[in-house]
Amino acid sequence: MFHVEHHSDLNKQSETLFLKTKDFLVSGKTFELHWNAEKDILLTSPKPAAEALPLYYQSESYISHTDSKKGLFDKLYQWVKSYSLGKKVRLIHKFNGGYGSVLDVGAGTGEFLKRAQSKGWEIAGIEINELARDISQKKGIPLLSSWEHLPEKQFDVITLWHVIEHLPDLDEALLKISNHLKRNGVLIIAAPNFNSYDAKHYSQFWAAYDVPRHLWHFSKKGIVRLFRREMKLIAVRPMLFDSFYVSLLSEKYKTGRTFSLKALWIGLLSNLSGMRSKEYSSHTYLFKKV
């Protein structure tokens, strides 16, 4: 049922085995993470074939494609998401210097775009998952299914909130982003950080590896290297809630416990460690096209 293929777009000779982990959500299959020294990123191997990749998202537990509030993790996720939406909209307003047009790639159920639109932004979004698009449509936020359906226009701001790690063809996506971002436009990337304290503590159980839905895994250095040719890094912000949510889910994968005070402690330790090392569980990166 699940077919896989190996990456072919990066230099295999520069890769070494980093660790082995598994898909805790859907298939239970084991995957390897290979470190690409040149880019300082990890690659999920074997990479699912394009036609099989959607199968790994077919789970009621995959919260980013639903608005579910059934269990503890769902409620926690939705609470944090609601709180974060306001911060995200204020962030794009600040770094754009006012209102404008925003393209959200991997828009999920459309909540960010809905909030941005209510504040005066011209919006557009891309989401490949049909269920998520349907939910967004019911909110009055229509989403496109692919880059190919996007009009030939450029945007003031492009956002990818925990999306870049999911993109099957990273090189093509980076080209599309560059083509659709205005000169001096703002690019915002949110991504987990495999150099964080919680990532090292939980190792193969770290929920933010989320193989094989996450095809790529980034360090701070790796993200900057991806965009250094055309984008200037202007700010990096920690995502403080991520360490708690990810640690709770990681502890569940490791011990089977749905809730754990230990996980909250690890999340706190990760943020305290990040204050010294600047290596948080997740970061938001802000670039300007030059």
Read off the pLDDT of residues 199-242 as tens digits, 9 standing for 90 and up: 999 999 999 999 999 999 999 999 999 988 889 999 999 999 99
Q: Between these two residues, 1 and 169, which has the higher pLDDT value?
A: 169
pLDDT surpasses 60 at 4: no
Residue with the bigger pLDDT between 61 and 130: it is: 130
Residue where the block lists tokens 């749905």: 258
In this predicted structure, the answer to whether residue 5 has a pLDDT above a threshold of 60 is no
Residue 13 has pLDDT above 70, yes or no: no
Predicted local confidence at residue 63, as pLDDT: 52
Residue 186 clears pLDDT 80, i.e. is over it = yes
Q: How confident is the model over 75-108, as pLDDT tens digits? A: 666 677 777 899 999 999 999 999 999 999 999 9
Homologous superfamily of domain range 4-289: Vaccinia Virus protein VP39 (3.40.50.150)
Give the pLDDT confidence of 24-81 residue by residue, as tens digits: 999 999 999 999 999 999 999 999 998 899 899 887 766 554 555 566 656 666 677 7
Please state the rounded mean pLDDT for residues 135-164.
Answer: 95
Predicted local confidence at residue 43, as pLDDT: 97
Buried residues in 96-111 as b, exposed as e (16+ CB within 10 A)? beeebbbbbbbbbbbb
